[in-house]
Amino acid sequence: MRHDRYLRHSLIDWFPQDRVRAARVAVIGAGAVGNEVVKNLALLGAGAIDVYDFDRVELHNLTRAVFLRESDVGRPKASALAARAGEVDPAVVLRAVEGDFWNTLSLSALAGYDCAIAAVDNFEARVRLNRMCRIDGVDFISAGIDSRHATVEVFPFAAEATCGCYECHLPNSAYKRIAERYSCGGLRKAAAAERLVPTTAITASIAGALATSAALRLGRDAGGGARRVFFDTIAGTSSVAALDRRAECVGCGDLGDRPRIVPARADWNRRIADVPADSAVHTSDPIIVGYECAQCGDASRADRYVLRRALDFDDRIAICAACGKAGVRVDVRDEFAAAELARLYPEAPPPVKFAIARLPDEALCMDFEEKHDGQRAR
């Protein structure tokens, strides 16, 4: 008789404990759902779990986060969660990555995971992670909750490069929510109001269980297509819907079957020269390309902002330093002709994560973060 920790698991003929032990999972978000996902993965004996979050623990988090305590208030969520979850099973390697995943997780690092689980509370983060996973061919799971319902969407990108992606069925209302955070010029609003969605530990536990179960059944031999599981925790009912690919999808329509990823940070000039001059190139981040006051014509501060990421600023830069009026025209774009991009950035690549060039027979992903210290790689 076996007397190891996973004895009961070994009695289940369909439970792949060896595969679970080898799993490497990125959990984006250390809130209610993130706590449940990490708890389940740790109890099941997952090999390695990396937790990404930029936020700090607040008192109201404690009613929905099993690993957080009052003594953690003010601490980074990722570190608090990883430290306490590590007590569940010392054999599970847990690591906290503090900061926005968009700034801390590169494409090359993401490729080292078997699955990425979005346990976040906003559409924008899910859209960005979805695109990264689709480019890398890494399985992606999106888990969301409200006070009554749990929704888990599964995208087996490793097995099916051309299955539907998260944006293929994203409603217009979601894009409107994203747009609420930005000005008409494309800059983040400094005073954007946060929408608070009431949730409970019940919906979080359901979503965490469904997401973990799906994650451990994915892989390069999984298949089954993209799908959405919807669970009503009050009625006790659930449904499963297929999420087919939409050809005109803004999230994956320009990616083809599987983009060819090339490192481009060190040899930017050669990479962009290989792209036909009139080919459209989409940058992962919007870039500020123009800055001038419409009231007084002042452009003296243009050098501070032009050719930098719009994400690094907010709409306060639209207030002119010369005349004091909110009349600065800030031109923000994320699509360029290859020749134009080469002209704007003659020496170093643009300050973005990656750029997608749609060539006649393939999609080319130029990776400007091909290495990121501290991250795992395949």
Contacts of 235 (CB under 8 A, 6+ apart): none
Residue ranges of the chain assigned to CATH 3.40.50.720? 7-242
According to DSSP, the residues that pair with 241 across neighbouring strands are: 228
What confidence score (pLDDT) does residue 375 get?
A: 42
Rg (CA), the chain: 22
What confidence score (pLDDT) does residue 193 get?
A: 66
| DSSP letter for each residue of 365-377 | EEES-S--TT---
250 neighbors 78 (Cβ within 8 angstroms): no
Q: List the pLDDT tens digit at each of the 378 positions of the chain.
A: 345 888 787 777 777 788 888 899 999 999 999 999 999 999 999 999 999 999 999 999 999 999 999 999 999 999 999 999 999 999 999 999 999 999 999 999 999 999 999 999 899 999 999 999 999 999 999 999 999 999 999 999 999 988 999 999 999 998 888 888 888 778 888 876 667 777 889 999 999 999 999 998 876 666 689 999 999 999 999 999 999 999 899 999 899 888 999 999 999 999 999 999 999 999 999 999 999 999 899 899 999 999 999 999 999 999 998 898 888 999 999 999 999 999 999 999 999 999 999 998 999 999 999 754 434 333
What confidence score (pLDDT) does residue 101 get?
A: 97
Domain 7-242 has CATH 3.40.50.720: yes
The helix/strand/coil state of 50 is strand
Q: How many Å separate Cα 190 from the centre of its chain?
A: 22
Please give the single-letter amino acid code of residue 274. Answer: D
Compute the C-alpha angle 11/219/83, nearest 5°: 70
What confidence score (pLDDT) does residue 374 get?
A: 39
DSSP type of residue 198: P
